[in-house]
Amino acid sequence: MLHYGETIMIVRHLHCDSMLPEYSHIKFDVTSEKNITQTEHSPHYNQPSMVFFSGGSALAGFSQALKHYNQNHSHIITTLDSGGCTAKLRQCFLMPAIGDIRNRLLALADDSRVDVAAMTRIMALRFAKQGSPATLRQSLWAFSSSDHPMYAQLNSQQKVAIQSCLEYFAKVIPDDFDLRNTSIGNVCIAAAYLTNNRSLTAAIAQFSQLLAIKGQVVPMLDNYCHLAAHLTNGQIILGQHNLTGKEVSPIRSKIARVELSSSAEYLSPLVCATPEHVKDTVKQARLICYPPGSFYSSLITNLLTQGIGKAISQSKAKKVYVPNLQDDPEQIGMSLFDCITTLLNYLTSELSENMPVTSVLNTVLIDKNAQNQLTPAQYQQLSELGIEVEILPLVSQQSSPFYDPHRLSQALLSLCR
């Protein structure tokens, strides 16, 4: 039940020290709840299963922290990114986006191992931003050479995988492929995708093993498709990169709705079914999180496939929304309450009218300094829907103005009970 002031606010506070304890012994101290101890070395099957719908880099730091508290978590990642070097790969091979997947694989890698740490450094490298096509092509061939010094700390399996991926890529790209600022990691995953019969799931499995990731990375779609946004001014924008405000000027009109398009050149509405393995991942979760990140192109884009809302509603998990703390160009003209209701609209679009909204969202987790972003009337409306608001100190002095990844990890794990 929600209460605000003396009449409508009951909140739980997670007490976090400014300096958190070592990862090997994590304590959660929640008022009126008994303490929980979670160790990094707990058996995987004893850890609560967590699922995150996300994309982009917003969750990278959090993912690096979470893997020390819990390794039983799955990250369902959008494959609609259309900017940067990912765009060049998509256009060349008509493939799903892999940049966000590479980012999450590296964040979850077991970099306590010398060989994995070396591999993450290699996969984070990029080709020079400037240089002639011939020079950059020579660099690609040089990287694939077995005696290249960057392979010194890799194990034999990692070395063969990186070399074979780079060598294959060098053979299949057209002469006019622009290698400037291209990610080595993206090149490797793209090559693995192509050599595994264009299976992104197989490519991810290969690099998950090589990087010994703590968690699971799941692509939402293995299709070649794009994000389309309808603005309230009647404009239609195609391509994720045209919404985020990073590569082009921010949009100036509110987003009315988004959908999938089979083309990046013109609107061609596309209906895609949610893959069965995604449904299974969701149904087995103890906690489902709609985390911070670009609201439409990282979060909502993962909720556009047919059947995803129903799969979420069938899960007995706690369903938690963690809103952005900072301005998001995609949230132009939207309040926090607007974000909550918009999220609910996409989650419930395929559900029957008698299905309670709590089947897809039952908790909103916000930082104590953001609690005034909801009015007393909005707190009351959420309460009437059965949605709880958890107000916790999620920003530390070190992390301000962003969420502290360790505090957020602890808070989400405390909700898994």
Could you read off the pLDDT of 218-272 as tens digits, one per residue? 999 999 999 999 999 999 999 999 998 888 999 999 999 999 999 999 999 999 9
Instruction: Please tell me the predicted confidence (pLDDT) of residue 18.
Output: 34
* Closest alpha carbon to 390 in 415, 372, 410: 415
| H or E stretch covering 46 | none
Whether the upstream peptide bond of residue 149 has omega within 30° of 0, thus cis, is no
State which amino acid sits at residue 24: S
For residue 1, what are its two tokens? 């039940």
Evaluate whether 292 touches 325 at the Cβ level (below 8 Å).
yes
Question: Residue 410 is inside which H or E element, if any?
Answer: helix 405-414
For residues 346 and 316, the answer to whether their CB atoms sit within 8 Å is no
Whole-angstrom Cα distance, residue 396 to residue 393?
8
Record the tokens describing residue 189, joined without a space.
């995953």
- pTM, two decimal places: 0.89
* CA-based nearest residue to 144, from 125, 177, 123, 170: 170
How much is the pLDDT for 34? 30
Find tokens 């090997």 and name the residue. Answer: 24
Q: Would you list the domain boundaries of the chain?
A: 1-71+277-417, 100-216, 226-261
Helix axes 184-195, 156-172, angle to 10 degrees: 80
| Nearest CA among 290, 260, 267 for reference residue 366 | 290
pLDDT in tens, 114-147: 999 999 999 999 999 998 999 999 999 999 888 8
Contacts of 349 (CB under 8 A, 6+ apart): 309
Q: pLDDT value at position 246? A: 85
Q: How many C-beta atoms lie closer than 10 Å to residue 381's C-beta?
A: 16
Residue 317: Cβ within 10 Å count: 22
Q: Burial of 312 by CB count in 10 Å (0-12 exposed, 13-18 middle, 19+ buried)? A: buried
Identify the segments of the chain with pLDDT beneath 50.
1-41
Number of H helices, E strands in the chain: 13, 12
Q: Work out whether strand 388-392 and strand 363-367 pair parallel, antiparallel, or are unpaired.
A: parallel
Polymer length of the chain: 417
